[in-house]
Amino acid sequence: MSLASTCSARDLELELLDPGSQNLVRLFKHPGGEWAEPPPAFRNLRVDPPAGHKDAFAVLYIGDNLPAVATECLILQAGDGDHCTWRQDRAAEYRVARYGFLKPALFLPIDGKNRHRLGLSGGQRPWGGYGVYQEAALTLHQRFHDVVHGLSWESFHRNQPGRVFALWHEHKTTIDLALVTPGSYPRLVDDPQWQAFLAANPDIEAIDGSAT
């Protein structure tokens, strides 16, 4: 039995976002990906349901800033010696959606003090893969979905540029989530905020992974 099943709820920390306090952002590839639930067969990311339970819930992955979601999508990467790059070929595949919410949003972090309490610290889990995270996500959804709106964590990638929020699709209406500019989704490479980020960080090298 996993620690996510047996840990006391009293020992877990929560993350509460004030309504209207910030915009959240998402990168997506496919039409409808800014809002629609992914089909169960494609629910394979960090805190999606594990095998055998893919239809249990769906996750909308969003972040508190554009570099964070670009890092999660492996567009922005830190290599040896913190040499940072961004993948032009991969960036060209994505569009940017932004969201606001009008009601408080409550997330259960899987990092910080909760990481050990949930059995997700480095020494507690197998090397590689999302399996242990997905099993924990299923358990946490079963235990807390009536009161918690999703899971959160600081990006696990190097340099940790921001926080990721895995909102359970069933709670989009609970927090009154809405697209800031519905139907207007710039390509990442054309997005003014992304362009300003690159201009402010000229040491980030643009590379074309499709050419290797």
- For the chain (length 212 residues), average pLDDT per consecutive 10? 90 97 96 97 96 98 96 88 90 98 98 93 69 95 98 80 95 98 95 96 90 58
Write down the pTM of the prediction.
0.93
Predicted local confidence at residue 7, as pLDDT: 94
Predicted local confidence at residue 128, as pLDDT: 62
3-state helix/strand/coil string of the chain: CCHHHHCCHHHCCCEEECCCCCCEEEEECCCCCCCCCCCHHHCCCCCCCCCCCCCCCCEEEEECCHHHHHHHCCCEEECHHHCEEEEHHHHCCCEEEEEEECCCEEEEECCCHHHHHCCCCHHHCCCCCCHHHHHHHHHHHHHHCCCCCEEEEECCCCCCCCEEEEEEHHHCCCCCEEECCCCCCCEHHHCHHHHHHHHHCCCCEEECHHHC
